[in-house]
Amino acid sequence: MSNQLSREGDLIPQIGSPSHSRLFSLDEAISLLPLVKKVTAIAITGLEPTQLRYLNLLDCDPRKRELESEYEKLVRLWMEKMARLGLLVPGLWEVNFDTGEGYLSWKYPELELAFFVEYGDPNLTRHSLTEVLYERGPCWA
């Protein structure tokens, strides 16, 4: 059963609860990536004014705490949006699509899904997706 609805041939991502885990095929991850990239770009653009104000303050300026809080709030909002799409967030502007065998990994500003992370890898090493597909021919591909 697909985790997406279809409307006139277009795929519409289903948005769920942040607590719902989801498994992705490679095609599902590729089809969701444009939305992930757009939401991420909007979040980053929204943070730019906060970052500029923060960088223009002295370290001892008490307003820095307020800006740190605002920054954290915006990042957490992005993380919640990614979780509602069924994605895992291992780092800032980085998402993982769970395949059931590991993770398809994307980081801003990468143009496409090009990396795979093994389950249980303590270093979260990003392997070339092309090599993983060639060597293993996984069922999610």
Using CA atoms, how far apart are residues 125 and 27, in angstroms rounded to an integer?
22
Instruction: Tell me the per-residue pLDDT of 19-71, one tens digit each, with 9 for 90 and over.
Output: 667 999 999 999 999 999 999 999 999 999 999 999 999 999 999 999 999 99
Q: In 10 A of CB 18, how many CB atoms? A: 14
Q: Which two tokens stand for residue 61?
A: 């300026």
Tell me the pLDDT tens digit for each residue of 65-95.
999 999 999 999 999 999 999 999 999 999 9
Say if residue 102 is exposed, middle or buried (CB neighbours under 10 Å; 0-12, 13-18, 19+): buried
Q: How many whole angstroms from its chain centre is CA 111?
A: 13
- Identify the CA nearest to 29 among candidates 116, 81, 127, 97: 97
Farthest CA pair distance, the chain: 56
What is d(CA 78, CA 82) in angstroms, rounded to the nearest whole number? 6
What does pLDDT average to over the chain? 90
Tell me: pLDDT of 6 over 50: no
Q: What is the mean pLDDT of residues 130-136?
A: 97
* pLDDT recorded at residue 7: 46
Phi first, then psi: give them for residue 21, nearest 5 degrees. -85, 155
What pLDDT score was predicted for residue 88? 96
What pTM was computed for the model? 0.83
pLDDT of residue 10: 53
Structure tokens at 91: 């780092």
Q: Which residues pair with 11 in a beta bridge?
A: 6
Tell me the one-letter amino acid at 58.
L
What's residue 1's pLDDT? 39
